[in-house]
Structure 1
């Protein structure tokens, strides 16, 4: 198991290096560039040349990339010019990262809690009305754009019915104590349960909007996987031996059917980070997604590079954890 983890860690390092190179080259190919964003209307040829020399942009590209790597390893990405002008870009990331993780976590919990049970039940009742309705529902979940569903949820439940908050992470009138940056967890740690409940209410609508596509994918993969396992010889053999349904479901069906589902859950985490850009924008939710949207609009290259790079690192780490979980469920994976 240790050799398997070490091998995956080495692969992860290679992937992160390639991603860092792609981010580095992409940001330098954007129109305007860092110098124009920092100088704005004050950009004269003399000032541009001086700033390029100060930033090392007059050096060969491979030298710039090496310096970029060294700064990235120490968290030095420069100062924000658009999202929070004057603030260190890495600090912007640290401030907003918990918000996106909290949102993605709640969305993933909703998707898994609904997708796996409903997928299993639909497979067990193949061809029934429940199965057909579930398939239609999953197709709608994939087809409806996240931002459109977010606007609908916001209009119905926040604006028309006033059941839930319209935007934000927490009511500004609540003087909550900040510990970790995760508002729900902070309220539990400090026993400010009203702050936790208010944060949860602010999470419900964006989490539901963000969870629709992962739910639909997890549901369909679970259903297809369970159907495949139900047709296996060892399941029929277990049934012929007179084993109880509980034993057959737990030991033979679910354990084997969950292998592709675990991989799917890991891959959907990346989709949650992408969908968060639109969802956070609709609900004015102060996370990485909103920061990325603002950074694109205002050409804040420092925030762009740290958010994109760290989001990619997060996605790679999640996939590493998924590989480890896969190896725990199926020991045969460790030898591949």
Structure 2
């Protein structure tokens, strides 16, 4: 097990190294570059040359890359030039991370709560009306763009029926004590139930929109995995022995069927982070997705590099934890 973990950690380190190279090259290939973003269109050639020297952009690329990595390891990604001008980019990430994490957790919880039971039920009723309806629903969930579903939900539940808030993380002016940065959790910890409930209502619509693709993917994987396991010899042997149906379902079918689902859950974390850009933009949700969109609009290179790098690190770490969990459940994985 230790060798497996070490191998995965080394692979994670190599992936981060490759990502840093790609991010370094990509940011310097964007039109205008950081100098143009800082000075604006009216900056003189002399001011641009002076700023390039100050930023070290006149140095050879290998030297610039080493400095880029050194500063990143120190948590110094530069100062925001557009999203929140003058604020350290790393502070913007840390301030907005809790909102995106809370949104992603809610979205994943919705997807898992619905997808796994419905995937099992669909497999048990293979070829029936319910199975066909659920499969079609999952196809719609994959096919419909997240931003379109977000607009539809916002129009129906917020604008037309007025059941839920149309945007934001919490109602402006609400008296809420910040402890962890997670609005719902902070309300529970401080027993400010009105603040927690208000934050939960703001999370519902974007979480439902964001959960559509993870739900569809996890549902289809669960259904296919349950169908495969139901045809295994050990399931037929358990039935022949006269074991009770609940025991067969839990111990022999679901326990083995969920092994590939665990891997898919880890992969969906990346999908949630990517989908959050569009979802947060539609609902004006103050997370890292919205900050990333604003960073592109304002050519805020320090914010772009910290958000992309940190989102990738989160994705890689989560998948490392999923790989370890997968290896604990299925020992055969450790030898691969």
**Short-chain TM bin:** over 0.9
Q: Distance in 2 between matches of 1:192 and 1:73?
A: 38
* DSSP-derived class of the 1:229 partner: helix
Mapping of 1:136-155 within 5 angstroms? 136-155=136-155
What's the secondary structure of 1:68's corresponding residue? helix
Whole-angstrom CA distance in 2 between matches of 1:79 and 1:256: 49
Determine helix, strand or coil for the equivalent of 2:172: coil
1:192: which partner in 2? 192
Matches within 5 A, 1:113-128: 113-128=113-128
Q: Does 1:103 align with 2:94?
A: no
Shift of 1:175: 1.3
Residues 55-101 of structure 1: per-residue CA shift (max 9 Å, x gap): 11011111111100010011101110111011000000001111111
Q: Using the TM superposition, give the Cα deviation of residue 260 of structure 1 relative to its aligned residue in structure 2, in angstroms.
A: 1.0
Whole-angstrom CA distance in 1 between matches of 2:289 and 2:37? 21
1:15-94 matches, cutoff 5 A: 15-94=15-94
Q: Deviations over 1:179-206 (max 9, x none)?
A: 1111111111111111111100000000
Whether 2:263 is the aligned partner of 1:269: answer: no
Task: Measure how far apart 1:173 and its partner are.
Answer: 2.2
**Contact 1:77 1:88 (C-alpha < 8 Å) held by counterparts:** yes
Q: CA deviation at 1:3?
A: 2.6
1:291-306 aligned at under 5 Å gives the runs 291-306=291-306
Aligned partners of 1:30, 1:138: CA distance in 2, in Å? 38
Q: Report matched runs for 1:302-317 at 5 Å.
A: 302-317=302-317
Aligned length: 336
2:274 counterpart SS class: helix
Report the 3-state secondary structure (helix = DSSP H, G, I; strand = E; otherwise coil) of the residue aligned with 2:211.
helix
Query: Deviation per CA, 1:275-296, whole angstroms, max 9, x where unpaired?
Result: 0000000000000110011110
TM-score w.r.t. the length of structure 1 is: 0.99
Unaligned runs of 5+ in 2: none
Match of 1:169 in 2: 169
Q: Which moved more, 1:251-260 or 1:25-34?
A: 251-260
Give yes or no for contact 1:255–1:329 (8 Å, CA) kept in 2: no
Deviates most, 272-281 or 323-332: 323-332
Question: Does 2:237 align with 1:237?
Answer: yes
Report the CA distance between 1:41 and its aligned residue.
3.3
Q: Deviations over 1:8-59 (max 9, x none)?
A: 1111111111111111100100000000000113411111111111111011
Deviation at 1:244, TM superposition (A): 1.0
Q: Which residue of 2 is the match for residue 9 of structure 1? A: 9
Per mean C-alpha deviation after superposition, the further-off stretch among 69-78 and 34-43 is 34-43
> Distance in 1 between the 2:163 and 2:217 partners?
29
Q: Report Cα offsets for 1:190-230 as digits up to 9, x if no partner.
A: 11111111100000000000000100000000000000110
Q: Give the Cα–Cα distance (whole angstroms) in 2 for the partners of residues 193 and 325 of structure 1.
A: 35
Which range moved further: 197-206 or 246-255?
Answer: 246-255
Distance in 2 (CA, whole Å) between partners of 1:245 and 1:330 is 24
C-alpha distance in 1, partners of 2:258/2:200? 29
Deviation digits for residues 246-305 of structure 1 (CA, Å, limit 9, x no counterpart): 211111111111111111111111000010000000000000110011110110000000
Distance 1:67 1:255 in 2: 49
For residues 255 and 44 of structure 1, what CA distance do their matches in structure 2 show?
66
Structure 2 length-normalised TM: 0.99
Q: Distance in 1 between matches of 2:37 and 2:115?
A: 44
What is the root-mean-square deviation of aligned Cα atoms in Å?
A: 0.8
Q: Distance in 1 between matches of 2:32 and 2:255?
A: 53
